[in-house]
């Protein structure tokens, strides 16, 4: 089962992600910290496979993805936009590389569950 940590996103977005990833896709939601420093602290205890971030705060999400990669290189980071259908995926062991993809519920589930 894929373990997902949901970062700083709006309450409505988090509700939708919990439903989509938890109920529909069968992922385990291991935490929902409300601030970047809490997210970094929670990484050790929650041991996620994937961390979801807010792509609409591009600079912060990129910096946070790099910090996550430095401390936990095996964790995939996906930054999702709530204003347009796109996501930036930082694969596990990404060394700073990422790609942008169109986002739909199916594509997000695929990105989260893909090794």
* Predicted confidence (pLDDT) at residue 115 exceeds the cutoff of 80: no
- Quote the CA–CA distance of 16 and 12 in Å, as a whole number: 6
- Quote the CA–CA distance of 16 and 78 in Å, as a whole number: 16
| pLDDT tens, residue by residue, 23-62 | 999 999 999 998 888 999 999 899 999 999 999 987 788 8
Give the per-residue pLDDT at 49: 97
Q: Is the dihedral of CA 38, 53, 66, 69 positive or negative?
A: positive
- Quote the CA–CA distance of 90 and 28 in Å, as a whole number: 20
Q: Give the number of other CB atoms < 10 A from CB of residue 19.
A: 12
Give the per-residue pLDDT at 46: 95
| pLDDT tens, residue by residue, 75-114 | 999 999 988 999 999 999 987 789 999 999 999 999 999 9
Give the per-residue pLDDT at 25: 96
What is the band of 10 on the pLDDT scale with cuts at 50, 70, 90? confident
Q: Give the number of other CB atoms < 10 A from CB of residue 115.
A: 7
- Which residue's structure tokens are 């936009």? 81
| pLDDT tens, residue by residue, 35-45 | 888 999 999 89
């Amino acid at each position: 089962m894929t373990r997902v940590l949901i970062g700083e996103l709006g309450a409505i977005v988090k509700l939708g992600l919990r439903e989509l990833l938890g109920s529909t896709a069968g992922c385990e939601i291991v935490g929902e910290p409300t601030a970047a420093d809490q997210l970094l602290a929670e990484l050790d205890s929650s041991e996620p496979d994937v961390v979801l971030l807010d792509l609409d705060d591009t600079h912060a999400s990129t910096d946070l993805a790099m910090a996550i990669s430095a401390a936990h290189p095996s964790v995939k980071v996906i930054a999702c936009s709530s204003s347009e259908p796109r996501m930036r995926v930082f694969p596990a062991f990404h060394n700073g590389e990422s790609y942008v993809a169109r986002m739909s519920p199916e594509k997000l589930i695929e990105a989260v569950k893909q090794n």
